């Protein structure tokens, strides 16, 4: 039987390189476009029967798709909710994938989530996962990870009722390969920029928290007369308004805190009235329901009252709408139009 003829270097190179007419975009002259299968090792999963799941005190992690959400800032999976022994691994004929393998979902709607996870130590994976790891003689694994994070793998799935990704599809991808030292420089630069983004995100959260506290403090001072705007010589509303009566005042012993002398504590019933007018909509009115009010304030959208079959409260421009159901959600809005609610 004749031996299979080995391919020449030129043949291997031609097979690995992507023809110029197929280049997705222009890259620096010292980069090359290479078929993905020549840069990585692929790893597939195996069945993970229910009777072996749920043990977290054995030596070999067995990862499932759900573990892709349990990653640290470096994308390493930290959850070990499922582990197996070497004896069980042999019994299941499950292969181990090496440390730093990049995992992703290969079947179902989980592909759309586009999550990635790095394997922190040799582990097994179930058959809903696929993984790859760089051939580090030619490709930096960190650069491979960052490339995978930018790629929407759903576009590589097959158009079937249940989307799935085939290894052969990924093998044919054109990958932009820089020189090895440039790969490491790019990966390090990405890490530094990501770290700055994370720092900025923390600062934004801190500023946001500080902003909320400052805003609350301003509102608190405003209703205590501590913003420096009060004119002590101005007469109180009790003296100048026909709407405020003695019966509307809050007794001294029930007042929550001290306010300027020309302010008065009044019952809320003295300063607003609940709208009670109701109509049966004809269909062309603007309708606002509880579902249209936003938690914390505002209106997401409105609709016409064409399908409303019961009486609704009439409101006018400038009125305040407030959700009575689950009031802790603080759904409210000041409307700038007429309508029914």
Region 11-34: what's the mean pLDDT?
88
**Predicted pLDDT at 326:** 86
DSSP letter string, 309-337: -S-EEEE-TT-EEE--SSGGG-BEEE-SS
Q: Residue 2 pLDDT > 80, yes or no? A: no
Break the chain into its structural domains and give their ranges.
Answer: 16-192, 237-270, 278-340
In degrees rounded to 5, what are phi and psi of residue 190?
Answer: -60, -45
List alpha helices for the chain, DSSP H. Answer: 9-16, 86-92, 110-113, 141-150, 167-171, 180-222, 237-240
Cβ contacts of 13 within 8 Å, gap of 6 or more: none
CA distance 61 to 72: 16
Tell if the pTM clears 0.85, that is, is over it.
Answer: no
Distance (Å, whole) CA 142 – CA 178: 13
pLDDT, averaged across the chain? 92
Q: Is 339 helix (H, G, I), strand (E, B) or coil?
A: strand
Please write the tens of the pLDDT for every residue from 108-135: 989 999 999 999 999 999 999 999 999 9
DSSP string, 54-68: S--SSSEEEE-GGGG
- Cβ distance 163 to 71 under 8 Å? no
Structure tokens at 314: 């009439």
**Which of 53-57, 58-62, 165-169, 206-210 has the lowest average pLDDT?**
206-210
Tallying the residues shown for the chain, one arrives at 341
Please tell me which residue, 147 or 270, carries the higher pLDDT value.
147
Q: How far is CA 263 from the centre of its chain?
A: 47
Q: What percent of the chain has pLDDT over 70?
A: 96
Helices first, then strands: H and E counts in the chain: 7, 16
In angstroms, the CA 24 to CA 125 distance is 32
pLDDT above 90: percentage of residues in the chain: 77
Mean pLDDT of the region 260-271: 92
pLDDT at 208: 81
Q: Which residues pair with 340 in a beta bridge?
A: 287, 314
State which CATH number among 3.90.220.20, 3.30.390.30, 1.10.1740.10, 1.10.3660.10 fits the domain covering 16-192: 3.90.220.20
Placement of tokens 């009566």 in the chain:
245
- Residues 6+ away with beta carbon under 8 Å from 172: 35, 36, 37
As a whole number of angstroms, the distance between CA 221 and CA 228 comes to: 9
CB 307 within 8 A of CB 289: no
Lowest-pLDDT choice from 65-69, 208-212, 236-240:
208-212
pLDDT of residue 312: 94
Give the residue-averaged pLDDT of 163-167.
94
- The residue with tokens 């069945």 is 47
- Tokens linked to 74: 């470096």
């Amino acid at each position: 039987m004749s031996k299979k003829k080995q391919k020449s270097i030129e043949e291997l190179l031609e097979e690995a390189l992507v023809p110029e007419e197929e280049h997705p975009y222009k890259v620096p002259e010292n980069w090359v476009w290479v078929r993905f299968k020549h840069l990585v090792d692929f790893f597939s999963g195996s069945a993970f029967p229910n009777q072996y799941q749920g043990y977290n005190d054995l030596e070999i992690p067995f990862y499932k798709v759900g573990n892709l959400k349990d990653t640290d800032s470096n994308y390493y999976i930290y959850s070990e909710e499922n582990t197996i022994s070497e004896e069980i691994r042999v019994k299941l004929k499950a292969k181990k994938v090496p440390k730093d393998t990049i995992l992703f979902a290969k079947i179902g709607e989980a592909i759309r989530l586009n999550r990635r996870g790095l394997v922190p130590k040799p582990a097994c994976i179930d058959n809903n996962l696929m993984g790859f790891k760089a051939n580090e003689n030619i490709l930096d694994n960190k650069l491979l990870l960052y490339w995978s994070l930018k790629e929407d793998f759903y576009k590589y799935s097959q158009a079937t009722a249940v989307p799935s990704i085939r290894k052969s599809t990924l093998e044919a991808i054109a990958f932009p390969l820089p020189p090895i030292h440039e790969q490491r420089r790019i990966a390090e630069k990405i890490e530094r920029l990501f770290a700055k983004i994370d720092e900025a995100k923390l600062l934004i959260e801190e500023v946001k928290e500080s902003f909320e506290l400052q805003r609350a403090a301003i509102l608190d001072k405003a209703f205590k007369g501590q913003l420096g705007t009060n004119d002590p010589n101005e007469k109180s509303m009790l003296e100048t308004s026909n709407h405020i009566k003695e019966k509307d005042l809050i007794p001294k012993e029930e007042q929550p805190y001290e306010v300027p002398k020309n302010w008065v504590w009044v019952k809320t019933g003295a300063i607003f009235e609940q709208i009670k007018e109701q109509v049966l909509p004809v269909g062309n009115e603007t309708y606002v329901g509880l579902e249209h009010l936003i938690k914390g304030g505002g209106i997401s959208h409105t609709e016409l009252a064409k399908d409303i079959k019961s009486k609704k409260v009439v409101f006018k421009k400038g009125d305040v709408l407030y959700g009575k159901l689950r009031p802790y959600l603080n759904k409210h809005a000041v409307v700038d139009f007429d309508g029914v609610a």
